[in-house]
Amino acid sequence: MKDGGGQSIIRFEEVSKAFGPKVVLRGMSLEVKRGETLAIMGPSGIGKSVTLRHAVGLVQPDSGRVIVDDHDLSTISREDLRELRKRMGYLFQEGALINWLSVGENVALPLRENTDLADEVIREKVEEKLALVQLRGTYDLMPPELSGGMRKRVGLARALVTDPEIVFYDEPNTGLDPEISMSINHLIRDLAERLQITSIVVTHLVSCILVVADRVVLVDQGRVFAEGTPDEFIRSQDERVVRFLAKPYD
Ligand SMILES: Nc1ncnc2c1ncn2[C@@H]1O[C@H](COP(=O)(O)OP(=O)(O)OP(=O)(O)O)[C@@H](O)[C@H]1O
Ligand SMILES: [Mg+2]
């Protein structure tokens, strides 16, 4: 949704995080408004995946706060966090499929964990999401039989299977050929618009942000250094932005 105002659903307030001696986030502040699609771009190893993991409460900040839907994730009760997570979908960068479960059972996992739906209903929902990511007829395949791009799309079907309100996409295009990559971008956009999903997309592709993003933040050295619409970025004269968009992974 393109509205400029709106209520924030996710807010990072000066979040800092180190793993041992390695400082990753240094006062990261950002805001995601309800219904918008925010893209996060930044060099490799800078903490983009770590940022997403903070937003779902898998990682706690050393200092600062992460607020999701008015809950401070450092003080939220276990039960409330569980309820909040039911409303979220997460496409993991590495796919994170379980190799000894079929494609269909991998996609079904969030439904088995979070709902009491009957097997036939689960099967139906899984088939529907597999069709959505152009993987009709793959229910019984095993993950080792899949190409990288197919694994990614199975991960995407799993992220969407509960019809979440907030979806985190960590590099949704990796390993996909250009045509499927573009169709996934349009799918992300379409879901966001049709179902008013709030989406956070980590990507290094300008082609992706042009299709999906309402707003983009560029991160480096543990914090946001530029923010704007995709259009503003591609027109930007700011030397850091220009350099970054030319070679986002330097
Ligand atoms: N649980 C952890 N323990 C120790 N170090 C970690 C942990 N998680 C992340 N890191 C480190 O934090 C840094 C940032 O990692 P992160 O995966 O967020 O980078 P990224 O920006 O997503 O990179 P890429 O674009 O390559 O995916 C890396 O140096 C990584 O090794
Ligand atoms: Mg990453």
pLDDT at 49 over 70: yes
Say what the pLDDT of residue 250 is.
Answer: 46
Which of the 8 DSSP states describes residue 145? G
Q: Whose CA is nearest to atom 24 of ligand 1?
A: 44
Say what the pLDDT of residue 232 is.
Answer: 93
Which of the 8 DSSP states describes residue 134? T
Mean pLDDT, the chain, rounded, equals 91
pLDDT at 103 over 90: yes
Architecture of domain 1-87+165-250: 3-Layer(aba) Sandwich (3.40)
Say what the pLDDT of residue 121 is.
Answer: 96
Say what the pLDDT of residue 163 is.
Answer: 93
Amino acid at 128: E
Say what the pLDDT of residue 94 is.
Answer: 81
Q: Is 47 in the pocket of ligand 1 (CB under 6 A)?
A: yes
pLDDT at 6 over 80: no
Q: Whose CA is nearest to atom 31 of ligand 1?
A: 45
Judged on CB neighbours under 10 Å (0-12, 13-18, 19+), 226 is middle
Sequence-separated (6 or more) residues with CB below 8 Å from residue 136: 127, 130
Q: Is 18 in the pocket of ligand 1 (CB under 6 A)?
A: no
CA nearest neighbour of 166 among 235, 71, 64: 71
pLDDT in tens, 138-190: 999 999 999 888 898 999 999 999 999 999 999 999 888 888 889 899 999 98
pLDDT in tens, 36-46: 999 999 888 89
CB 30 within 8 A of CB 226: no
Instruction: Look at 23-37, 130-144, 182-196 and tell me which has the smallest mean pLDDT.
Output: 182-196
Band of residue 68 on the pLDDT scale cut at 50, 70, 90 = very high
- First vs last C-alpha separation in the chain: 31
pLDDT at 110 over 90: yes
pLDDT at 247 over 80: no
Structure tokens at 31: 């805001």
Say what the pLDDT of residue 5 is.
Answer: 52
Where in the chain do CATH 3.40.50.300 domains reside?
1-87+165-250
Alpha helix locations (H) across 117-224?
Answer: 119-132, 148-160, 178-195, 206-212
Say what the pLDDT of residue 175 is.
Answer: 81
Distance 229 CA to ligand 1 centre (A): 26
Summarize the confidence of residues 66-81 as an average pLDDT: 94
Summarize the confidence of residues 29-37 as an average pLDDT: 96
Say what the pLDDT of residue 147 is.
Answer: 87
Distance 50 CA to ligand 2 centre (A): 7
Sign of the dihedral defined by the CA atoms of residues 173, 178, 179, 182, in that order: positive
What are the backbone dihedrals phi and psi of residue 17, each rounded to the nearest 5 degrees, phi first? Answer: -150, 130
Judged on CB neighbours under 10 Å (0-12, 13-18, 19+), 138 is buried
Q: Name which residue leads in pLDDT, 7 or 1.
A: 7
Distance 237 CA to ligand 2 centre (A): 27
